[in-house]
Chain A
Amino acid sequence: QSVVTQPPSASGTPGQRVTISCSGSSSNIGSNTVNWYQQLPGTAPKLLIYRNGHRPSGVPDRFSGSKSGTSASLAISGLQSEDEADYYCAIWDDILNGRVFGGGTKLTVL
C-alpha cells in the first residue's frame, strides 16, 4: 500500500473537467514537489506535470496541477477520449528516502 493515496477511479464525459487528488503527509507532499504521470495502456509512464504545476514541452494546457499542504491535484479540462489512461502522482519521501508513487487513478471517458 502506497504512502500516497489516490482515488482508484475517476470518470467524465467529453468536454468536462475532471480532477484527481493525491493525499500524502508532511514527509512527502508537505515538503517536496509533486509530479504527475499519464500511462496509456501498454506504454511507459509519460511525465505530465512537474514541480507541482509545470508542464513539459508538448503537454497540452488542458492539464494543470496544484498543491496545497499535504495534498495535490491534477485537473484535466476539455476531457477527450484519448485522455483515458492511468494517472499517478509521484513525490520524494523524506522518511523512506526514496521516490514514491500514488496507487494510481484510472480515468474513464464515458
Chain B
Amino acid sequence: EVQLVESGGGSAQPGGSLRLSCAASGFTFSSYEMYWLRQAPGREPEWVSYISTSGTIIDYADSVRGRFTISRDNAKNSLHLQMSSLRVEDTAVYSCARDNPDFDALDMWGQGTLVTGSS
C-alpha cells in the first residue's frame, strides 16, 4: 500500500524552528518528485516546497523562501522540511505529496502534521 506519513509538527514560538519528516512506503520513493504543502484552517492547500528525484532541483513558495529548507534521503525513503524563523501565519497542517508524472498531478498525500506558530 502506498503510504506517506508525516511527523514532527507541534507548537513553536514566533522565530522558532521545527523539523518535519515524511516517511514513504509502498512505492519507489527515489523515482518521484515530492512536495510539501500546507493548509490553514478553512483555507485551500498551498504549495510550500518542491524537490526533484535526486534532490538537486529545489524550489520554494515566496512566503517561505529563505526560512524553510527541503531535503530528501532516498536511501531512507524520507522527505524533510526544516522550518525556521516561524511566524504565526505559518500555522497550518503540513502534508507531503507525491508528484506522479503519469497523472501530471499530486496523486498521493499524507494525512499531515499540525504546526502552530503561537505567540
A-side interface residues toward B, CB under 8 Å? 2, 33, 35, 37, 43-47, 50-51, 54, 56, 88, 90, 97-104
B-side interface residues toward A, CB under 8 Å? 35, 43-47, 50, 59, 61, 95, 103-112
A44 touches B95 (CB 8 A): yes
Q: CA–CA, A104 to B43, complex, Å? A: 8
Give the residues in chain A near B104, CB-CB below 8 Å.
33, 35, 50-51
Question: Assuming A44-B112, A47-B103, A51-B105, what are 15 further A-B pairs, CB within 8 angstroms?
Answer: A43-B111, A44-B111, A46-B109, A47-B107, A50-B104, A50-B105, A50-B107, A51-B103, A90-B106, A97-B59, A98-B61, A101-B45, A102-B44, A103-B44, A104-B44
Interface of B is mostly: strand
Closest 3 CB pairs of A and B: A50-B103, A44-B109, A35-B105
Which residue of B is nearest A93, CB measured? B47
Which residue of B is nearest A86, CB measured? B44
Give the residues in chain A near B46, CB-CB below 8 Å.
101
B61, B95, B109 — most chain A CB neighbours (10 Å): B109
A to B CB contacts below 8 Å, 20 in the list = A44-B109, A44-B110, A44-B112, A45-B45, A45-B109, A46-B109, A47-B108, A50-B103, A50-B105, A50-B107, A51-B103, A56-B103, A88-B44, A90-B45, A98-B59, A98-B61, A101-B45, A103-B44, A104-B43, A104-B44
Give the residues in chain B near A101, CB-CB below 8 Å.
44-47
Give the residues in chain B near A102, CB-CB below 8 Å.
44
Give the residues in chain B near A2, CB-CB below 8 Å.
44
Other-chain contact of A47, B35, B59, B106 (Cβ < 8 Å)? B106
Give the residues in chain B near A97, CB-CB below 8 Å.
59
Give the residues in chain B near A99, CB-CB below 8 Å.
35, 47, 106
Q: CA–CA, A37 to B110, complex, Å? A: 14
Give the residues in chain A near B50, CB-CB below 8 Å.
98
Q: CA–CA, A50 to B43, complex, Å? A: 22
Which residue of A is nearest B6, CB measured? A44
Q: CA–CA, A36 to B106, complex, Å? A: 10
Q: CA–CA, A44 to B110, complex, Å? A: 6
